[in-house]
Structures are given as C-alpha cells and as structure tokens.
Amino acid sequence: MLSYLHAFHAGNFADVQKHGALLLALRMMQAKDSAIACFDTHAGSALYRLDSDQAQKTDEARRGIQALWPDRQQLLSGDWKAFMAQLERFNGSRAALSHYGGSPAWMAALKRPQDTVTAFELHPTETGKLSDWAATVGIQVRHQDGLRGLLKALPPSAPRLLVLTDPSYEIKTEYRDVAETVIKAWQRCRHGVFLVWYPILPKQDHHRLFSALTASEVTKVLRSELTLAETPDRGMSGSGMLVINPPWGFEERFRAMMSEAGTADRLNATHQLDWLVPE
C-alpha cells in the first residue's frame, strides 16, 4: 500500500528548501527559553546514505544538497552556516557528504532538554529504522497515522508548538486531508507554527490545499515556492512550503537563504515568497 521511500529522494532540492525552513523556524523559536512541542507527522527513517543504491539510482541529491556542499565554507549567510554545521555533524569526520538527515534528525539535533519531538510514521520498515535511531536520541516514535495522531496530541502541554507535515501525496485525498488537519490543529493551538510541504506537479493538485486554507479562518500563511529552471520530463517542477505563523523576521531570513541557494550554479531554481493568507 505505502510504496514511497524517502531514501530515493533524500537531499534533493525539495529537502534543501524544507529542511532549511524547518531549521530556521525552530532556531528562531528557540530564541525564547519556553518549551516547544515538535511534531513530525510524516517522518521517514531519519538518516539516509547518499551513497546507497536507492539514492544513486535517482541521483537527486546531486542537484540538491551536493550542489551547495562545496560552498559551505565561504557560502552563504549565517543561517546556511548553521545548516551546514549540522550537516557536517551528521557526517562525522567523513570528508565527503555521504549522510543526510531527514526531518526527525534535524528536529532531534536542535532539541533542547525542555523540548519534545514526536515523530509519526506508517511504513513498517521505515518505522523500524526510525525507532532504532530514535532510541539513541530520545525522541518519541509513533507507528500511527500522523494526521490523526497529531490531532489527538493537541493542544500540547508545552507552551509552544511546531509541526512539520510532509506527506508523499501518494493518495489523491491527501491534499484535502492535510488541509483539514492543519485547520483543526490551528483551531486547537492558534499560536502554533505549522510547516506544510507540497510538490509542484503538472496537475497542480496543491491548489486544493490553497483553496481549503484560504476558505478557512487560518491567517498568516507564508508561501515559499522553489521552481526549477529546467523543467524535468517527469516528476516535480518545483517544491512548495507553507509556513503558518512564521516567527517574526523569518520571511526576510528565509528569502535570503533561498536566493543564495537558487543560483544557476547551485539549485538552478527561482524562489518566490508571498503571503497566501496575510495576517
């Protein structure tokens, strides 16, 4: 039933955008001491080998994180430096970039003692790998539907909330299900920061997400879209993120990050940032 495996896509241009936004939002929230409950509704298996057969088969990381990695010393604003420093930690003493962190690994890396991280995953093999890894870093794993699981957990006992929702959109109803869940989650925790990833595909199904959100009472929805300069024959032509309630100042800092990353010699993509729903 579940056929998607993130190992084929880890470190691609969409991961760079998604994990860049996640890391920046979480770091900015941590400027205050109060505890943050972090939820990853679609976690994957946490750590990926870029030299695995799966990654080599698609070679997606070459046009993603591998295109930024050589510039990490001189590259990039302070926010990319923090990203690259963490990526170096995922790789230990290895000179080449062979390991890439999935979303729960980025959350776990930033987690302070007062924060919690809960990762949902439905695929049995992915959940097994995720659980083995999680036991070493002290985060909670739930082998459950992430959308239902999130709603059951809200409002959190911690004063603040960050949610990443990153489905594979294998099932057509997922756009509607994600929108309905985010709207309900927002109603239970209006100050929460919600990051929602979506693919940009020829059918433009992601507009279902937009119409549901714009018809709801949710406000402060920032939209980031990274569009590849060379449209591939098949697959995604771009990658999108919605950030609901971004921390103050996130917009400018994320715009700067993505404009540095998108240049022709790096991701070769244009980035647009606007408010799908303003305040």
**71: contact with ligand SAM by CB under 6 A:** no
> Cα separation of 230 and 268, whole Å?
8
Binding of ligand SAM by 192 (CB under 6 A): no
Element spanning 90, H or E: helix 78-91
Choose among 44, 72, 208: nearest CA to 131: 44
The residue within the footprint of ligand SAM, chosen from 24, 42, 83, 212 (CB under 6 A), is 42
Selected from 13, 69, 80, 120, the binder of ligand SAM by CB under 6 A is: 120
Among 79, 115, 126, 225, binds ligand SAM (CB under 6 A): 126
Judge whether 166 counts as a catalytic residue.
Answer: yes
Q: Cβ closer to ligand SAM: 43 or 261?
A: 43
Binding residue for ligand SAM, selected from 2, 96, 215, 229, defined by CB under 6 A: 2
Q: SS3 string of the chain?
A: CCCCCHHHCCCCHHHHHHHHHHHHHHHHHCCCCCCEEEEECCCCCCEEECCCHHHHHHCHHHHCHHHHHHHCCCCCCHHHHHHHHHHHHHHCCCCCCCEEECHHHHHHHHCCCCCEEEEECCCHHHHHHHHHHHHHHCCEEECCCHHHHHHHHCCCCCCEEEEEECCCCCCCCHHHHHHHHHHHHHHHCCCCEEEEEEEECCCCCCHHHHHHHHCCCCCCEEEEEEEECCCCCCCCCEEEEEEECCCCCHHHHHHHHHHHHCCCCCCCEEEEEEEEECC
Q: Which of 15, 79, 115, 166 is catalytic?
A: 166
Q: Examine residue 20 and tell whether it contacts ligand SAM (CB under 6 A).
A: no
Say if residues 119 and 128 touch (Cβ distance below 8 Å). no
Pick from 30, 103, 224, 245 the residue near ligand SAM by CB under 6 A.
103
Considering the complex, state which of residue 42 and residue 160 has its C-beta at the smaller distance from ligand SAM: 42
CB 267 to ligand SAM: min, Å:
17
The answer to whether 11 contacts ligand SAM (rule: CB under 6 A) is no
User: Considering the rule CB under 6 A, would residue 63 count as an interface residue with ligand SAM?
Assistant: no
In the list 98, 140, 168, 219, the residue contacting ligand SAM (rule: CB under 6 A) is 168
Q: What is the rounded CA–CA span in Å between residue 89 and residue 86?
A: 5
129 touches ligand SAM (CB under 6 A): no
Q: Count helices and strands (H / E) in the chain.
A: 10, 10
Position 79 contacts ligand SAM (CB under 6 A): no
| Closest residue by beta carbon to ligand SAM | 102
Q: Does 223 contact ligand SAM by CB under 6 A?
A: no
Minimum CB distance to ligand SAM, residue 39 (Å): 11
Binding of ligand SAM by 121 (CB under 6 A): yes
Closest distance of CB 258 from ligand SAM, Å: 17
**One of 11, 146, 240, 247 touching ligand SAM (CB under 6 A):** 146
- 102 near ligand SAM, judged by CB under 6 A: yes
Active site amino acids: 166
Chain contacts with ligand SAM (rule: CB under 6 A): 2, 4, 6, 18, 42-44, 102-103, 120-123, 126, 145-147, 166-168
